[in-house]
A and B are shown apart, each in its own frame.
Chain A
Amino acid sequence: MSTLTIKNISKQFPGTLALDDVSLTLKSGKVNALIGKNGSGKSTLIKIINGVQPPTSGDIFIDEDKISFANPEEAIQKGVSTVYQELSLVGGMTVADNIFLGRYPMNGKFIDWKKTYRETRELLEGMGIEIDAKEQINNLSMWQRQMIEIAKAMSTNPKVILLDEPTSSLSRSETQILFNLIRGLKTKDVIIIYISHRLQELWEIADTCSVLRDGRLVGSADMADLSRKDILSMMFGDMKTEKRPEDVKSTDEVVLKVEGLTSGKRFSDINFELKKGEILGIAGMLGSGRTELLRAIFGSDRYGSGKVFVNGSETKRATPFKMKELGLAMTSEDRKTEGLIQIMSIEGNLCVASLKRMSKGAFIDKAAESRMVAEQVENLEIKAPNLRSEVSSLSGGNQQKVVIGNWLNNKPTIMLFDEPSRGIDVNAKHQIFNIIWELSRQGVSSIVVSSEIEELLEICHRILIMRYGKFVDEVSDAATTVEHLYSMCMGENEDESPRADSADSADSADSADTLAGMR
């Protein structure tokens, strides 16, 4: 048996103390859950354990040996493997290739393929994975890839394996298969650290649970001794949400109606109405289908079936170009690669969506352009020394404001915000909330998608909760607490018996689960 000891670890970032004197002991043969909401410091702790960044102070020991790594590669060599939620497999190569990439068994100058395949087969069999070593990754489904990812991590015989939200993109039945694999790891002498946002999973898979909040370890105990309430109160503590100003009101006029919208496995049977001036929240964890839903409504992804009505008329074969004409706007969750043109100026980025509005015929009306740019810079309080410099020179918050300003220049009537507050500081966050409220006062409706649920409670009139691609509940802000919302999103429900549906196919299991959740 081996032990991972984390001793007085602190991590200071400019402006924030991400980890504050965290000490923790984890043992092999157990699944050790590490949880905490966004910004609690759990990602930082993981990065310190697997060598992505060094701690400011404190030490880490495996058994008696003090460990420190210059980089993640060294960490892997010395026995700390990480399975990230974004898969890192090479699609066009085989399972065996992926497992032995960069360290193939050699026969002189040549790769010893026989040995490569034999060792891959042994590894997979040993873990009870029934996938052919010569299968191409592209032919595998998500959960199979996730298993290969874990097999790859185990192939280096690690002492510590970090599983970072391995189930976030899996359905219920697939999750069960993965859990069986993880349970199998417990018989090996490896310290398993399991990070998840799906609270209900913890009682199924984890043996111990450690909770971080605001950079501090608030508790660590055996799962058997913990109730749902214990964990929620450890995660959130006494939290207060701020209130939306009284004069931000919704009306009765329906501007957007979605009927039975379905897109394969991503989401299904989505129904809702959005009123003029209303701010509607969609709460859901990563992989719940929230981003996919927003993209489908905006026409940037195709959907299978269902209808979308804007101001009463149905939209057919929607594209962002058509939806823009109808008055919709969307800010992407990934502003760096989808929201902004990095090599363009701040000015230029504020005018991409609204080129038509600032043109006379084919020509750009320079006066209109500079007027509109100036308006957004002033109203959104975009802090930029020079509007001609590249947009990438701005801080995250100001970049997000440029993304929003780009759309506001087009005078939309419905704004879709995907994670508008991701990666920006508290001040900028509140400025963005104020923008959303101000839009509502002007009669612009908004849909806000976020995994930071306390934010939604603050901003929105109404919140729809999304889980496994379906709306499972609707709440209005007045009657709800953050804990309740989080537990709804994380799919935690005491009546549920997760094992019961594990034999069913993914989709039917999901719908059964949803019905149980609705009751």
Chain B
Amino acid sequence: MEIHGLNRKTVNNIFRKYMMEIILVVMFIVLSIFAPGFLSSDNILGIFRNMAIVGVIAFGMTMVIINGEIDLSVGSAIGISAVATAIISRRLAESGFSDAFALIIAMLAAVAICSLIGMFNGFIRARFGIPTFIITLAMLNVLYGIAATWSAGFPVVINSGWYSFIGAGQFFKTESFQGIPAPMIWLIIVFFIIWIVMNKTRFGREVYAVGGNIEAARLSGINIAKVKIITMMAVQALAAFSGIMLSSQVMAGSSQFGRGYEMDVIASVIIGGTSLFGGVGRAWGTFIGILFLGVINNCMTLLGVDDYIKYIVKGSLILIAVLINTIQLQRKDA
């Protein structure tokens, strides 16, 4: 009996630990059987390509949320970045620089602008103690306004052949294989970078410590302000990269890009098991969260679900994920 009990406990623990992975696999199998067109390399790679825009930001957001903060302004940062890339590259090209040089400088500038925004968010948080929820909610509007004003509300066209590779290119393309979408490669690279930062570096530990107990971390001589500011910068820099990918897919930059994406970003992180209370979370979990959201999106599209219904489903998913996390936490305490 005892051995049976032990086994059951172990099984329970494994199930709890890998719940999202198991659900994802089950979903995958069910959809492969019942959803026509789901199980094809085209479709699977498409899921990755579609999720990359949200996904790269989600890894930055994982750090931010583990650190006990949030950034609601990433959606607008995508717009700012896309508009900045388009306008700056056009101006540089107009003043006689080569297309390639103009675009590279423009992309770097977009990342720099968003990093500065993140630095500002982090500084206000660290210096004045205002919750990032409020700061970035305000910035969500401010940044959208700036992007829209800068571009006068119109999409700005980008003219450069190779630029589309960033968002729409393929690696390892052969005659029989359509190739791996470039965004998927970027997503995996970003995942590895964040995974290494969070698991192998001093900074990653500091992020967990500050998110776990800010006062204990401060009294342990950790530079709180530095940790907060760098994480807020990182998520904005990644949002800038997303903006670049998106503008490359469309070959234009618009302030409308990224509107509402913060919801999908945060959903992926929360579904991946990162605690909104800070201190707990994994890059791997977010990876699963991104795939989960991607598969849900994809299957709703395949099954012809109405766009409006998608909102209901995704909103509910966030709520359910938070509920499950919270209930598990309470059980543990009891």
Contacts and interface: CB of A to CB of B under 8 A. Distances in A.
B201 A363 contact: yes
Given A363-B202, A364-B202, A342 B221 contact: no
Q: Which of A339, A352, A353 has the most B CB atoms < 10 Å from its CB?
A: A352
B218 interface: yes
A338 B218 CA distance: 9
A339 B216 contact: yes
Interface residues of B, number: 21
A341 B216 contact: yes
Interface string B177-220: 00000000000000000000000111101101100110111111
B316 interface: no
A363 B199 CA distance: 9
Contact of A355 (B205, B213, B216, B279): B205
B301 interface: no
B280 interface: yes
A352 B203 CA distance: 11
Interface string A376-411: 000000000000000000000000000000110010
Interface string A174-209: 000000000000000000000000000000000000
Interface of B (DSSP majority class):
helix
Interface string A333-367: 00001111111100010011101100100111000
A323 B220 CA distance: 10
Contacts of B216: 332, 337-341, 352
Contacts of B202: 355-356, 359, 362-364
B201 to A, nearest CB: 5
Interface in A237-274: none
A324 B212 CA distance: 20
A473 B227 CA distance: 43
A330 interface: yes
B12 interface: no
A321 interface: yes
A433 to B, nearest CB: 23
B203 A324 contact: no
A517 interface: no
A23 interface: no
Interface in B72-131: none
Contact of A321 (B201, B208, B221): B221
Contact of A338 (B205, B206, B219): B219
B212 to A, nearest CB: 4
Contact of B221 (A320, A343, A351): A320
B212 A344 contact: yes
A324 B221 contact: yes
A351 B201 CA distance: 13
A243 to B, nearest CB: 32
Nearest to B218: A320
A332 B215 CA distance: 10
B213 A364 contact: no
A94 interface: no
A300 interface: yes
B65 to A, nearest CB: 14
Interface in A102-161: none
Nearest to A344: B212
B213 A341 contact: yes
B201 A352 contact: no
Given A337-B215, A341-B209, A352 B220 contact: yes
B218 to A, nearest CB: 6
Given A330-B219, A341-B279, A343-B280, A355 B212 contact: no
B277 to A, nearest CB: 9
A351 B205 contact: yes
A363 B218 contact: no
B166 interface: no
B219 A320 contact: yes
Contact of A364 (B201, B209, B217): B201
B201 A406 contact: no
B300 interface: no
B7 interface: no
B263 interface: no
Interface string B260-282: 00000000000000000001100
Nearest to A298: B219
B288 interface: no
B208 A323 contact: no
B215 A353 contact: no
Nearest to B277: A343
A362 B203 CA distance: 7
B222 interface: yes
B32 interface: no
Given A342-B212, A355-B206, A364-B200, A300 B279 contact: no
Contacts of A406: 220
A233 to B, nearest CB: 40
A195 B9 CA distance: 49
Given A300-B218, A325-B221, A342-B213, 7 more contacts: A338-B216, A338-B219, A341-B208, A341-B279, A348-B209, A352-B220, A363-B200
